[in-house]
Structure 1
Amino acid sequence: MRQPEEVRRKELYDNEARLSWVLAALAGLIGAAAFMHTAGYFVTFMTGNTERAVLGHFHHEGDVAVAAALLLASFLAGVVVASLCRRHFWSGHPHGPTLLTTACLATASTIDFVLYERTATSRIDFVPILFVAFGVGALNTSFVKDGEVSIPLSYVTGTLVKLGQGIERHLNGGTYADWLDYFLLYTAFALGALLGGLLSLAVAGWAMLITATAVCLLVTTYTYLHLDKHGPLTEE
């Protein structure tokens, strides 16, 4: 049964909605940081990684296929580990997954800096990106309801599908509330990616992950000091 219109409008701007925009933008920024200074690795686009893992062999690019498969495995591991932590340690606290993401980015930054000191190359190596993919997987568990992810932050394809369905409902007697939340979530992700792209023009490759870590730490602090003080956002 559909929710009353006044409830839908309130949910568009509540604590959970605002946090989802911030975390979606963070996911977009992290994805851009990983993409712009590497050989083109995806840490948010698991559909693309799946196709690369399967189709890379058809183009005699076995290394690309293996890298994509490892990114998939790392992302999945991040989801599993963060979900276990939510069940046992972080129930109802959205800062938990962002804290794990920050730790993963810090680890990736440390490894990348050590590699930079040895090779003096500005391109981010593959090993740090595995930790980034793990962190993005963990970040996607920030919103859970009834044991399932209620807002997948980096699943842009699904967000666009829901956006299109909401527009259709609006055209057939609904209101802007049927699609605006999905539009705002998508826009936040896109703006985060744009910010990451702009940062990549101003920050050297070896410092890009450090910058992303600093931003992620700020977001984690925001979720803990502000939103967590209002109590659980979702019920498990």
Structure 2
Amino acid sequence: MTRYDRRFWFLAAGLSATAGYVDAIGFLRLGGFFVSFMSGNSTRFAVGAVTDAHVAYVAGALIAGFAAGVAGGTWLSVRHGGGRLPVSLLLMGALLALAAASDGRSPAMATSLMMAAAMGAANTIFQRDGEVSIGVTYMTGTLVKFVQRLTAALMGGGPRWAWLPYALLWMGLVAGACGGAAVYGAVGTAGVWLAVAAVALLAGYARAIGRPHAP
């Protein structure tokens, strides 16, 4: 993440906050499953495969939805990735809009799968040499890098502020999740419309600063 210009740090943090917001809504809606945190769903799938087939079904379906979003975002980036605006960001917004619009009109699982697919697409926005360079929904590695860089800075063995972008990414997700939990308590899944609005704002910002790139 430190390879990117600082303008892109804020785009990544905004995406992370949006992902945290959506994940909190999905978590509360699904009663303990995730639409962005696939490590958690993988554990739930494995445990469910042994103890509860329904748990395995829900977790497995969400993993498949997330993977479909990654595949779609990757395909669009390869085929139509030459403009200033990351096409994966447009896919993320479209999927969230479909999820919000389908709430109450489609099976509950269909809405959740679209949310998971949107989160998969979000992770394909930052790429370098065909590989994801910033994952905006999986925070374990980000937290490790944050603590490593901070420890090195405090010991005088590394750049003073190298920990900051990782802190922004992690804190963005936490803050977004707090917001998602609060909004879900007030309006339920309709709160996903706020995530759609956030993606629209981020798309405007992304268009203004140009495509994410790193040396």
Q: Post-superposition, which runs of at least 4 consecutive aligned residues in structure 1 deviate over 6 A? A: none
**1:143-167 per-position Cα deviation (integer Å, ceiling 9, x unaligned):** 1111111111011111011112212
Measured after TM superposition, the shift of residue 13 of structure 1 is 6.5
Amino acid at match of 2:121: A
**What is aligned with 2:196?**
213
Code of the aligned partner of 1:81: G
Q: Name the SS of the counterpart of 2:137 in structure 1.
A: coil
What is the aligned partner in structure 1 of residue 184 from structure 2? 200
Q: C-alpha deviations, 1:182-209, integer Å up to 9, x for none?
A: 1111111111111112212322x24223
Amino acid at match of 1:207: A
In structure 2, do the counterparts of structure 1 residues 127 and 175 end up closer, same or farther at CA, with 3 Å as the change threshold? same
Does the aligned pair in 2 maintain the 1:29–1:196 contact within 8 Å? yes
Matching residue of 2:131: 148
CA distance in structure 1 between the partners assigned to 2:74 and 2:158 by the alignment: 35
Q: Name the structure 2 match of 1:222.
A: 205
Please report how far the alpha carbon of residue 50 of structure 1 lies from its aligned counterpart in structure 2 after TM superposition.
Answer: 0.6
2:173 is aligned to 189
Give 1:101 deviation, angstroms. 1.0
For residues 167-189 of structure 1, give each alpha carbon's deviation from its aligned partner in whole angstroms, at most 9, with x where no partner exists: 23222522332312111111111
Is the Cα contact below 8 Å between 1:12 and 1:181 reproduced in 2?
Answer: no
Unaligned runs of 5+ in 2: none
What residue in structure 2 maps to residue 159 of structure 1?
142
Give 2:40's aligned residue. 48
Match of 1:127 in 2: 110
Which of 21, 24, 36 is the matching residue for 1:32? 24
How far did residue 84 of structure 1 move? 1.1
Cα pair distance change 1:71/1:176, threshold 3 Å: same
- The residue identity in structure 1 corresponding to 2:131 is E
Cα distance, 1:220 vs. partner? 2.4
Q: Please give the alpha-carbon distance, in whole angstroms, between the structure 1 residues aligned to 2:89 and 2:4.
A: 22
- Structure 1 CA distance for aligned equivalents of residues 44 and 186 of structure 2: 30
* Residue of structure 1 equivalent to 2:213: 234
CA deviations over 1:12-69 (Å, ceiling 9, x no partner): 872211211111111111111212233222011111111111111333x111111111
Q: Identity of counterpart residues, as a percentage?
A: 34
The whole-number CA distance in structure 1 between the counterparts of 2:78 and 2:65 is 20
Could you say if the C-alpha distance between residues 174 and 235 of structure 1 is closer, same or farther in structure 2, counting changes exceeding 3 Å?
closer
Q: Which residue identity does 2:16 align to in structure 1?
A: A
Name which of 107, 121, 127 aligns with 1:138: 121
Tell me how far 1:213 sits from its aligned partner. Answer: 2.4
Displacement of 1:216 in angstroms is 2.5
Secondary structure at the residue paired with 2:70? helix
How many aligned positions are there? 213
Structure 2 distance, partners of 1:94, 1:40, is 34
Structure 1 unaligned regions, length at least 5: 1-7, 116-123
C-alpha contact (below 8 Å) 2:45/2:59 kept by paired residues: yes
2-structure distance, mates of 1:92, 1:75? 25
SS at match of 2:103: helix
Which residue pairs with 1:18 in the alignment?
10
Match for 1:55: what amino acid? V
